[in-house]
Chains A and B, each alone.
Chain A
Amino acid sequence: MISEKAAGIAAQCRHYAMCKIDFLGTGLCPPGEDNHYVSYYPQGRMDLYDALAKGLIPVTERLVDIANTCTLCGICDKQCHFVTELRPMVVMRALKDHVGSHIAENKKIVQIEEDDILKQFKKVVGEKNATNDPAILVTYSNDPAPMAKIQMPQYVVLPSGREEVKNIISVCNQFKIPFAVRGNGSSVFGIVMSEGVVLDMGRNKEISMDKDNWKINIGAGVSAFDLQIEADKNGFRVNSAEPSALICSNIMCSGILSTFSNSYGTGADNYVDAEFVSNQGEAFNLNDKKGPNLFGFDKQGSPSPGICTGASIKLQPVTEDEEGLGIPFSSFDEAATFCRDLSRRRIGISIALLGGEYISTFISPTSDMAEKVKTLFIETLGISFLVVVIGDKYAIETIKKMAPITINDKLFRLMMLSLPQMVAGEWIEMLGELETNRNLYELFCKEEMYPLLETVLNPSPEAIGSVVPEDLRDFYTQLYSRPEMTNLAWLSTFRILSSRMGRFKHVVAFIGYAPLDKIEVIKKMIGEFKRIGDKYNLKHDYGFLTPVDLGKRAILEYDFYIDHTNPAEIQQMLRAMGEAGPMVGEMSMNTKGIQWINTILFQGFSRKENFLYR
Chain B
Amino acid sequence: MKLSRKEILGLRKKKEAVFLITGATGFIGSHTAIKLLKRGYRVIMFSRPNRGATAGERIKAMFEWFELDTDEFGANLEIIEGFLDKPDLGISKKTYSYLLNTVDEIIHCAANTSFSEKKRGELETVNIGILKNLSSLINSENSRCYFFHHISTVYVAGKQKNIFEETLINTPEFNNVYEETKYRGEQFISEVFPQSGVRVNIYRSSIVYGDSENGRSTLFNAVYYPVKMALFLKNTYRNDILKKGGEKAKQMGVRLDEDGSIFLPIRMGNKSGGTINLIPINYYTDAFIAILEYSVDPGIFHIINNSDTTLDDLTGFFSKSFNIKGFRSVSGEELKEEPLNALEILFSEYLKMYEPYIRDIRRFDNKRSEKILSKSNIKCPEFDLDIFSRCMNYAISVNWKNPWK
The interface of chain A, by Cβ under 8 A from chain B, is 382, 426-427, 430, 433-439, 443, 446, 448-456
Answer yes or no: B341 CB below 8 A from chain A CBs: yes
Asked if A452 and B343 sit within 8 Å, CB to CB, the answer is yes
Once the chains bind, are A434 and B339 in contact (CB under 8 Å)?
no
20 contacts between A and B (CB under 8 A): A382-B118, A433-B225, A434-B225, A435-B116, A436-B116, A436-B352, A436-B353, A437-B118, A443-B346, A448-B341, A448-B342, A448-B345, A449-B342, A450-B342, A451-B251, A451-B342, A454-B248, A455-B236, A455-B249, A456-B236
The 7 closest A-B pairs by CB, nearest first: A452-B342, A455-B248, A435-B353, A437-B117, A449-B342, A435-B115, A451-B251
B340 is an interface residue with CB less than 8 A from chain A: yes
Inter-chain contacts of B353 with A (CB < 8 A)? 435-437
A452 to B341 Cα, complex, angstroms: 9
A452 near B252 with CB under 8 A, answer yes
Within 8 Å CB of B146, what residues of A?
none
Given contacts A430-B232, A439-B118, A456-B232, 14 further A-B contacts (CB under 8 A): A430-B229, A435-B350, A435-B354, A437-B115, A437-B117, A437-B353, A443-B346, A446-B342, A449-B345, A451-B248, A451-B252, A455-B237, A455-B249, A456-B236
B354 neighbours in A (Cβ, 8 Å) = 435
B240 in the interface, Cβ–Cβ < 8 Å?
Answer: yes
- In the complex, the chain B residue whose C-beta lies closest to that of A433 is B225
* Contact call A427/B252, Cβ cutoff below 8 A: no
Question: A433 vs B224: C-alpha distance in the bound complex, in angstroms?
Answer: 11
Which residues of chain B are within 8 angstroms of A433 by Cβ–Cβ distance? 221, 225
Q: In the complex the two chains form, is B225's CB within 8 Å of A427's CB?
A: no
A455:B252 contact, CB within 8 angstroms? yes
* Chain B interface, number of residues (Cβ within 8 angstroms): 29
B240 touches A455 (CB 8 A): yes
Please give me the residue from chain A that is nearest to B225 by CB atom: A433
Write the chain A residue with the least CB distance to B249.
A455
Closest chain B residue to A431 by CB distance?
A: B346
- A446–B345 alpha-carbon span in the complex (Å): 9
Q: Which residue of B lies closest to A426 (CB)?
A: B232
* CB–CB A434/B252 < 8 A: no
- A430-B229, A436-B349, A455-B248 given; A448·B118 CB < 8 A: no
Residues of B within 8 A of A435 (CB): 114-116, 221, 225, 350, 353-354
Chain A residue nearest to B350 in the complex (CB): A434
CA A434 to CA B342, docked complex, whole Å: 15
> Which residues of chain A are within 8 angstroms of B225 by Cβ–Cβ distance?
433-435
Q: Does residue B228 face the partner (Cβ distance < 8 Å to A)? A: yes
A435 to B340, CA, bound (A): 19
- Neighbouring B residues of A449 by C-beta, 8 Å: 342, 345
Inter-chain CA distance A446–B348, complex, in Å, is 14
Question: How many Å from the CB of A324 to the closest CB on chain B?
Answer: 23
Residues on the B chain within 8 Å of A456, using CB:
232, 236
A-B CB contacts (within 8 Å), total count = 63
CB closest chain-A residue, reference B228: A430
Distance in angstroms between the alpha carbons of A443 and B348 in the assembled complex: 11
Cα–Cα, bound, A541→B117 (Å)? 27
Q: How far is the CA of A223 from the CA of B116 in the complex (A)?
A: 50
Q: When chains A and B are docked, how far (Å) is the Cα of A454 from the Cα of B237?
A: 11
What residues on B are CB-neighbors of A446 within 8 Å? 342, 345
List the B side residues contacting A430 at CB < 8 Å: 228-229, 232
Cβ A448 vs Cβ B237 within 8 A: no
A382 to B342, CA, bound (A): 20
Provide the bound-state CA to CA distance between A450 and B114, in Å. Answer: 28
* Residue picked from A382, A436, A437, most chain B C-beta under 10 Å: A437
Least CB distance from B150 to A in Å reads: 24
Which residues in chain B, 90-123, are within 8 Å of chain A measured between CB atoms?
A: 114-118
User: A433-B221, A434-B225, A435-B354 given as contacts; is B345 within 8 A of A443 (CB)?
Assistant: yes
Please state if A427 and B232 are interface contacts (CB–CB under 8 Å).
yes
CB distance from B219 to the nearest CB of A (A): 11
Instruction: Give A383 Cβ to nearest chain B Cβ, in Å.
Output: 13
Q: How far is the CA of A451 from the CA of B240 in the complex (A)?
A: 12
Q: List residues of chain A with CB within 8 A of the CB of B240.
A: 455
Chain A residue at minimum C-beta to C-beta distance from B118:
A437
Does the CB pair B349–A434 fall under 8 Å? Answer: yes
Residue of A whose beta carbon sits closest to that of B401 = A429
Which chain B positions have C-beta within 8 A of A427? 232
Taking CB atoms, residues of chain B closer than 8 Å to A453 are: 342
- Distance in Å from the Cβ of B340 to the closest Cβ of chain A? 7
Q: Which of A382, A435, A439, A454 has the most CB of B within 10 A?
A: A435
Q: How far is the CA of A88 from the CA of B341 in the complex (A)?
A: 49
Which residues of the other chain, A, contact B249 by a CB distance below 8 angstroms? 455
Contacts of B237 in A (CB 8 A): 455
Give the docked Cα–Cα distance between A427 and B236 (Å): 10
Highest count of chain B CB atoms <10 Å: which of A382, A448, A452, A454 = A452
Residues of A within 8 A of B118 (CB): 382, 437, 439
State how many angstroms separate the Cβ of B230 from the closest Cβ of chain A. Answer: 11
Expressed in whole angstroms, the Cα–Cα distance for A475 and B20 within the complex equals: 59
Question: How distant is B55 from chain A, measured CB to nearest CB, in Å?
Answer: 24
List residues of chain B with CB within 8 A of the CB of A436.
116, 349, 352-353
Please report the C-alpha to C-alpha distance between residue A449 and residue B339 in the assembled complex, in whole angstroms.
12
Chain B residues closer than 8 Å to A438, beta-carbon distance? 349
Q: How far is the CB of A70 from chain B (nearest CB, A)?
A: 45
- Least distance between A441 CB and chain B CB atoms (Å): 12
Distance in Å from the Cβ of B385 to the closest Cβ of chain A? 24
Q: Which A residues are CB-close (under 8 A) to B341?
A: 448
A435 closest partner in B (C-beta)? B353
Residues of A within 8 A of B343 (CB): 452
B240 to chain A, nearest CB (A): 6
Q: Which residues of B contact A452 (CB under 8 A)?
A: 252, 342-343, 346
Docked pose: A433 CA to B116 CA in angstroms: 11
- Minimal beta-carbon separation of A451 from chain B (angstroms): 5
In the assembly, what is the distance between CA of A456 and CA of B232, in Å? 9
User: When chains A and B are docked, how far (Å) is the Cα of A450 from the Cα of B251?
Assistant: 11
Report the minimum CB–CB distance from A463 to chain B (whole Å). 15
User: Could you give, for residues 203-234 of chain B, a 1 whenever the CB lies within 8 Å of some chain A CB and a 0 otherwise?
Assistant: 00000000000000000010001001100100
A245 to B240, CA, bound (A): 47
Cα A434 to Cα B115 in complex, Å, equals: 10
Contacts of B339 in A (CB 8 A): 448
B252 near A448: Cβ-Cβ < 8 Å: no
